[in-house]
Amino acid sequence: MLRGSGERDLPIGWRDDVMSSELKDVRLSVIDERIKNVKNVIAVSSGKGGVGKSLVASALSLTLARRGYRVGLFDLDLTSPSTHIILDVGKSRPIEDRGIVPPRIHGISYMSITYYSEDKPTPLRGVDFSNALIELMAITRWGDLDFLIVDMPPGISDATLDIIRLIKRSKFLIVTTPSKLAFETVKKLIKLLSDLRVEIIGIVENMKIKESDFIKSNADKLGVKYLGGIEFDEGLEDALGDVEKFSKTEFFREVWRMAGELLRALASGAQ
């Protein structure tokens, strides 16, 4: 920062060319304010795409809401959002009130870029991705929540780094498939989060097609809690977009059970 003068009676100035980017970008200073009444922020993440993050995030949000918790679901997969399909958000829209207030969908406060992109392809390079994410975080007023579930895009690039930077108390829930290929990228995510001292609350193994302890044993080696395996559910595809049907699937029942474990783990961690 530039100090124009040390004299008490002369103006002291800060110019944009010397101002820190954090102060220049006014949005950053209200992100904490927007989530100050959110007790827990859980980022559902994976190194790999197609492992079921959005399904886990949607089911987890619904199970927590049905247990009586106040829940928000924030779809941050800005270029490939899908939770709006899973939950069939229909013609709901955010309310404009000194920012935007997420609509309530099936008992969940819900926010997605699709309210603005209308399902058009929205290609975003790194800086644009970050800007869109920061904008959404700065203008969305979540209110009082017990849980804000964040559906993350795959990988360890902008979204992961931004969430870690901007919501320092985020906890990560990791999703993988039984595949060695998926777990190879998940290992990198775990290493990154561990290096940055970000809490990992557990790992979910999705789409199991045979008995194997490959993921569990590796999770144990890495010191990450294995929350359980979900068998490949053939009925899941037909339940997408129908929340009542979705909540009767084996997949949903397993996520319900895991949510119970998560709640116990969070409660014991808070003591």
Partner 1 sequence: MHEWALAEALISTVTKVLKSERLGKILEIGVGIGELQDIDLEIFKFALMQLRPDYLKDAEFKFKIVKTRLRCRVCGHEWSPRKDELDEGVREAIHFIPEISHAYLRCPRCGSIDFDIIEGRGVWLEYVKGKR
**Residues at the site binding partner 1, with contacts judged by CB under 8 A:** 1, 8-16, 19, 23-30, 33, 96-100, 113, 116-118, 120-125, 128-129, 131-132, 135-136, 138-139, 141
Q: Over the range 88-124, which residues count as b (16 or more CB within 10 Å of their CB) and which as e?
A: ebeebebeeeeebbbbebbbbbbbbbbbeeeeeebee
Q: Distance (Å, rounded) from C-alpha 51 to C-alpha 137? A: 25
Name the minimum Å distance from CB 27 to partner 1.
5
Strands 38-45, 226-231: pairing kind: unpaired
Choice between 111 and 243, CB closer to partner 1? 111
Name the minimum Å distance from CB 141 to partner 1.
8
Name the minimum Å distance from CB 123 to partner 1.
6
Choice between 153 and 229, CB closer to partner 1? 153
| Cβ-contact 168, 189 below 8 angstroms | no
Strands 38-45, 145-151: pairing kind: parallel
Choice between 131 and 194, CB closer to partner 1? 131
> Within 13 Å and on the Cβ side, how many CA atoms surround 74?
28
Choice between 140 and 218, CB closer to partner 1? 140
Name the minimum Å distance from CB 15 to partner 1.
5
Choice between 161 and 240, CB closer to partner 1? 161
157 DSSP assignment: S
Name the minimum Å distance from CB 206 to partner 1.
30
Dihedral over Cα of 182, 183, 188, 193: its sign: positive
